[in-house]
């Protein structure tokens, strides 16, 4: 998809972890933005959902 803008709506975060930008929505509002690594470092909503989907305990 290089050179194109594509919107992907996903519940399974492994589907989007290699994208350039991820927006996390809550109650219809963007609450987090960044790539996978940036969002994992923040350890907020994206991190928690990703950990749960990977079967890992939350810290």
Mean pLDDT, range 36-48, rounded to an integer: 97
Sequence-ordered alpha helix ranges (H) in 14-56: 36-42, 45-53
pLDDT (0 to 100) of residue 48: 96
Residue 44: which pLDDT band, with cuts at 50, 70 and 90? very high
Measure the CA–CA gap between 5 and 54, rounded to whole angstroms: 28
The mean pLDDT of 15-39, rounded to a whole number, is 97
pLDDT on residue 58: 81
Average pLDDT over the chain, rounded to an integer = 94
**C-alpha closest to that of 42 among 15, 27, 24, 28:** 24
């Amino acid at each position: 998809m290089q050179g194109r803008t594509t919107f992907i709506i996903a519940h399974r975060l492994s589907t989007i972890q290699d994208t350039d930008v991820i927006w996390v929505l809550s109650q219809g509002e963007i609450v987090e933005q960044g790539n996978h690594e940036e969002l994992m470092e923040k350890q907020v909503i994206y991190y928690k959902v990703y950990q749960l989907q990977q079967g890992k305990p939350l810290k």
